[in-house]
């Protein structure tokens, strides 16, 4: 295990790679988490302007890393330069998004019900707002080495909420993480914040993750990755004397439903659009459309022929790392071995190294319903098309699917209205319901919901993308008959931040 400092832990620990038994790991994690806990009261009491300035400074420092950051990430992730430049922009933009949210201030949901002493019984003065939970542990993701990793959305939103953060760097891009953490350290120093506001830990030992989750100072966990990884962290949290929330995004097959009218109008165009979406970035997006449902028809046959021709000609590239490629190869083989499955098309070029074979397959509705193995995500450039005999069978399939991040309808407005029962099923199944678009592409805005019913995520009430992601790291606290001088600024009568508040039932500033 390697512990990075700068402003992290002692120089002695930072200067060496440590391969140690679990007891030593636990001792070092204890030191790190105690440092995070000690920094928390100071950081949480920083003004909204100070926290916003800090987030903006992190964005500036990341941008100042220039081409060196991009080239490092390219070498470690096999992602192309243009993709990583866009991801760096997203990383900086979401830091600035949260800075703006914090500076405006209304996210704390301040509510005031003033005292009614004349009422019988008398009502006390009651004031409530969201307050930061405490130290948060963030596990970096592999598929977005910038936007979902060291200074990604989980870290940005936790810092915006007023929490200190301990980042468990992903082993797939350690040099990239180190550069980004250096930018965070520079921002900490420039803003005069506690040196342990953000800390960074590296290592591949499962005991490291368990120690971070189970430390008494840890108050919440953010994770993006596999179902196995997410559920393991949840179990660690449940074993604690005081369980804590684990906000894990764990995967999704993101069904796409092709309704007849639009399929009849543009089968080739839909085939091209969906082939490009499920193979985008070699299928290494959590919103990749991995399941396509349609009613059998002549138009569907045209679509099947078209997508079977599209996939073999698509460009290929290496996957993020050998582990993901090995898992894809294994899961793809398992899927294709299932009875009743037929391959419509696959990339023609012989796969070399960790370049995957993009594949689109076909199965009938009865076979799909009878085989739960076909319902599982295959992370990578693979999609399964299910030919349904009737609308009732299509609805039955939706009812048998697990929770999803997204669900997409390709439909004309008229047939969408005529299929409101299917549309309502989609709302029950997914966190984001899309019409006539592909799910790959997630806007970082206030209206985005990137989360869905289990097992897509561990808590469908929250999002890991967009400004509402801040609410994962805060809890409501009520202040009753509190001395005015001790009230948080957001609850003071003078409302120094000029934020929107609900006062005696009315929204006002």
Active site residues: 249, 286
Neighbour tally for 454: CB within 10 Å: 15
The phi and psi torsions of 109 (rounded to 5 degrees) equal 55, 55
Angle at 142 between CA 186 and CA 403, to 5 degrees: 120
3-state secondary structure 213-264: HHCCCCCEEEEECCHHHHHHHHHHHHHCCCCCCEEEECCCCCEEEECHHHHH
- Rounded Cα distance between 247 and 463, Å, is 9
Instruction: Identify whether the C-beta of residue 137 lies closer than 8 Å to the C-beta of residue 211.
Output: no
The answer to whether the Cα torsion of 377, 471, 148, 437 is positive or negative is: positive
- Chain CA centroid to CA 359, Å: 26
Residue 442 has what DSSP assignment? -
Instruction: Identify whether the C-beta of residue 318 lies closer than 8 Å to the C-beta of residue 353.
Output: yes
Nearest Cα to 426, choosing from 446, 453, 448?
453
Residue 432 has what DSSP assignment? E
First to last CA, the chain: 50
* Residue whose structure tokens are 């995967």: 251
For strands 165-168 and 111-113, give the pairing: unpaired
Crossing angle between the packed helical segments 81-104 and 153-161, to the nearest 10 degrees: 10
Beta bridge partners of 449: none
- Rounded Cα distance between 463 and 446, Å, is 10
Tokens linked to 116 = 């009614």
* Cis amide leading into 455 (omega within 30): yes
Neighbour tally for 380: CB within 10 Å: 25
Angle at 433 between CA 431 and CA 436, to 5 degrees: 155
The enclosing H or E element of 190 equals helix 174-191
312 to each of 39, 50, 267, 309, 360, how far by Cα in Å?
54, 53, 18, 6, 10
Neighbour tally for 467: CB within 10 Å: 22
- Rounded Cα distance between 110 and 488, Å, is 10
- Rounded Cα distance between 465 and 347, Å, is 32
């Amino acid at each position: 295990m390697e512990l990075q400092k700068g402003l992290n832990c002692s120089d002695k620990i930072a200067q060496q790679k440590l391969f140690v038994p679990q007891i030593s790991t636990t001792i070092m994690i204890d030191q790190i988490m105690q440092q995070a806990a000690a920094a928390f009261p100071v950081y949480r009491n920083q003004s909204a302007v100070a926290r916003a300035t800090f987030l903006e400074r992190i964005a500036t420092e990341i941008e100042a890393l220039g081409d060196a950051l991009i080239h490092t990430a390219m070498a470690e992730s096999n992602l192309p330069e243009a993709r990583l430049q866009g991801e760096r922009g997203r990383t900086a933009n979401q830091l600035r998004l949260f800075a703006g949210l914090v500076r405006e201030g209304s996210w704390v949901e301040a509510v005031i019900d003033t005292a009614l002493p004349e009422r019988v019984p008398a009502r006390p003065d009651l004031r409530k707002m969201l307050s930061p939970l405490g130290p948060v542990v963030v596990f970096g993701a592999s598929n977005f080495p910038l936007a979902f990793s060291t200074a990604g959305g989980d870290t940005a939103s936790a810092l915006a909420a007023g929490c200190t953060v301990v980042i468990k760097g992903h082993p797939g891009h350690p040099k990239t993480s180190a550069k980004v953490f250096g930018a965070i350290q520079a921002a900490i120093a420039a803003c005069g914040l506690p040196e342990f506001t953000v800390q960074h830990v590296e290592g591949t030992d499962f005991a490291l993750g368990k120690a971070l989750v189970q430390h008494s100072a840890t108050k919440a966990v953010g994770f993006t990755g596999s179902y196995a990884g997410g559920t393991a962290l949840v179990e660690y949290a449940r074993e604690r004397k005081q369980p804590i929330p684990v906000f894990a995004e764990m995967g999704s097959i993101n069904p796409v439903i092709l309704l007849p009218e639009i399929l009849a109008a543009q089968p080739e165009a839909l085939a091209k659009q969906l082939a490009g979406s499920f193979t985008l970035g070699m299928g290494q997006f959590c919103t990749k459309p991995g399941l396509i449902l349609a009613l059998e028809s002549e138009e569907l046959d045209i679509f099947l022929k078209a997508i079977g021709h599209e996939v073999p000609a698509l460009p290929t590239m290496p996957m993020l790392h050998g582990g993901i490629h090995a898992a894809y190869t294994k899961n793809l083989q398992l899927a294709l071995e299932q009875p009743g499955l037929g391959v419509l098309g696959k990339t023609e070029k012989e796969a070399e190294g960790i370049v995957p074979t993009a594949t689109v397959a076909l199965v009938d509705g009865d076979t799909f319903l009878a085989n739960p193995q076909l319902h599982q995500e295959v992370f990578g450039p693979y999609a399964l098309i299910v030919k349904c005999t009737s609308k009732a069978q299509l609805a039955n399939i939706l009812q048998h699917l697990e929770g999803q991040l997204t669900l997409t309808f390709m439909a004309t407005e008229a047939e969408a209205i005529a299929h409101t029962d299917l549309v309502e099923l989609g709302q029950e199944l997914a966190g984001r319901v899309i019409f006539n678009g592909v799910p790959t592409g997630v806007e970082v805005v206030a209206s985005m919901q990137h989360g869905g019913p289990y097992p897509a995520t561990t808590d469908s009430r929250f999002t890991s993308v967009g400004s509402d992601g801040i609410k994962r790291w805060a809890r409501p606290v009520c202040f009753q008959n509190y001395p005015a001088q001790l009230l948080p600024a957001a609850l003071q009568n003078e409302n120094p931040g000029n934020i929107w508040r609900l006062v005696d039932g009315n929204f006002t500033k």
